[in-house]
Amino acid sequence: MTAPVDPVDPARGAGGRLELERVSASYGPYRALFEVSFSVPAGTALAVVGANGAGKSTVARVVSGLVPSTSGTVRFDGIDITRRPAFEIARMGLNHLTEGRSVFASLTVEENLALPFRRALGRQGVAGALEQAYEAFPKLGDRRTQSAGTLSGGEQRMLALARVLVLHQKLLVVDELSFGLAPVIVDEVYQALSRVLSGGTSLLLIEQHVHRALELADAVVVLSKGTVVYDGPVEGVEHQLSELVLGPEAP
Ligand code: ATP
CA atoms within 13 Å, Cβ hemisphere of 50: 24
| Alpha carbon of 114 to ligand 1 centroid (Å) | 34
Per-residue pLDDT at 11: 42
Nearest alpha carbon, ligand 1 atom 31:
27
Question: How far apart are the C-alpha atoms of 59 and 57, rounded to whole Å?
Answer: 5
| Alpha carbon of 75 to ligand 1 centroid (Å) | 23
Domain-located, residue 241:
yes
Kindly give the number of the ligand 1 atom that is closest to the alpha carbon of 61: 11
Nearest alpha carbon, ligand 1 atom 26:
27
pLDDT in tens, 183-218: 888 888 888 889 889 888 999 999 877 888 899 999
Contact 29 CB / ligand 1 (< 6 Å): no
For residue 10, pLDDT over 90 is answered with no
- 6's torsion region: left (phi>0), alpha (psi -120 to 50) or beta? beta
| Alpha carbon of 26 to ligand 1 centroid (Å) | 10
Domain-located, residue 108:
yes
Domain-located, residue 251:
no
- The boundaries of the domain holding residue 193 are 18-246
Per-residue pLDDT at 9: 41
Contact 98 CB / ligand 1 (< 6 Å): no
Q: What is the CA radius of gyration of the chain?
A: 18
CATH of the domain at 49: 3.40.50.300
- Residue 132 contacts residue 2 (beta carbons within 8 Å): yes
Q: Supply the pTM of this predicted model.
A: 0.87
**How many structural domains are present in the chain?**
1
Phi, psi of 211 (to 5 degrees): -65, -35
Domain-located, residue 13:
no
Question: How far apart are the C-alpha atoms of 18 and 95, rounded to whole Å?
Answer: 12
Kindly give the number of the ligand 1 atom that is closest to the alpha carbon of 33: 14
Per-residue pLDDT at 248: 62
For residue 1, pLDDT over 60 is answered with no
Domain-located, residue 95:
yes
Kindly give the number of the ligand 1 atom that is closest to the alpha carbon of 208: 2
Domain-located, residue 118:
yes
Question: How far apart are the C-alpha atoms of 125 and 122, rounded to whole Å?
Answer: 6
pLDDT in tens, 33-85: 999 999 999 999 999 999 889 999 999 999 999 999 999 999 999 999 998 99
Instruction: Considering only residues 150 and 180, tell me which one the structure prediction assigns the higher pLDDT.
Output: 150
| Alpha carbon of 214 to ligand 1 centroid (Å) | 22
Closest CA to 220 of 35, 25, 56: 56
Question: How far apart are the C-alpha atoms of 59 and 39, rounded to whole Å?
Answer: 12
pLDDT in tens, 126-169: 999 999 999 988 889 999 999 999 998 888 888 988 988 888 88
Confidence class for position 2, pLDDT limits 50, 70, 90: very low
Domain-located, residue 4:
no
Q: What percent of the chain has pLDDT over 90?
A: 55
Q: What angle do CA 235, 237, 239 make, to 5 degrees?
A: 105
| Alpha carbon of 31 to ligand 1 centroid (Å) | 10
Domain-located, residue 6:
no
Per-residue pLDDT at 240: 77
